[in-house]
Amino acid sequence: MRKFVLAASIALLTACSAPQQEQLNLTLQPQLSMNTITQGKAFSLTSKDVRAAQYVALVDSGRSNIEPLHAKQNVRIALENALLEQFESQGFKNTVNSENNVELEIQEALVSVKHSVLENQMDANLVLEVTAETPKGKLVKTYTGTASRNGMMSASNEEIQSVLNDVMNLVLEEIANDNELQNYMKERF
């Protein structure tokens, strides 16, 4: 029995000390408005992540080895917080029990990386759906961001992370500057 406990303890300690898989850091930059478009119009913000898998990058080194990379932060919460900051900078107010709802749905967030020792190709896709709903109606908008980057040598995690953050920040900027969404929320909330 002692040998079993000793072997189990060693196996557990070995597993704990094994190197952790690298993760990508999300550095989202909400587009804050300098001019408020409304004052204190209330809404409730919710979000959901409907992606099939939770990784944010797939790295194909060409040797029948495809490695998924995950984000350090929860993608849904990071995007929800950034969107909330944007709406609050425009003068909207997030409350718990509002009859006005904004829902963020993450449909795709992925960087596909194909690389070898000599070159790399990165293609990023982000698809977000924003639904603004009031008792009087609903507006559903889909925002899509894509980016491609080629480079010499194999792609580093920092380069993959940069492409992912660039696409996310571009889509956040598109949402912040969407007059149709702003007007709908301003007039109906």
CA–CA separation, 157 and 140 (whole Å): 34
Q: Give the model confidence (pLDDT) of 31-47 as tens digits.
A: 998 888 888 899 999 99
> Global pTM?
0.84
Quick: pLDDT tens for 131-181: 999 998 999 999 999 999 888 888 888 999 999 999 999 999 999 999 999
DSSP-derived secondary structure letter, 90: T
Q: Cα–Cα distance between 144 and 128 in angstroms, integer? A: 7
Q: Give all domains of the chain, ordered by start, each with its CATH number.
A: 23-188 (3.40.50.10610)
Name residue 109's beta-bridge partners: 126
CA 50 to chain centroid, in Å, comes to: 12
| Identity at 186, one-letter amino acid code | K
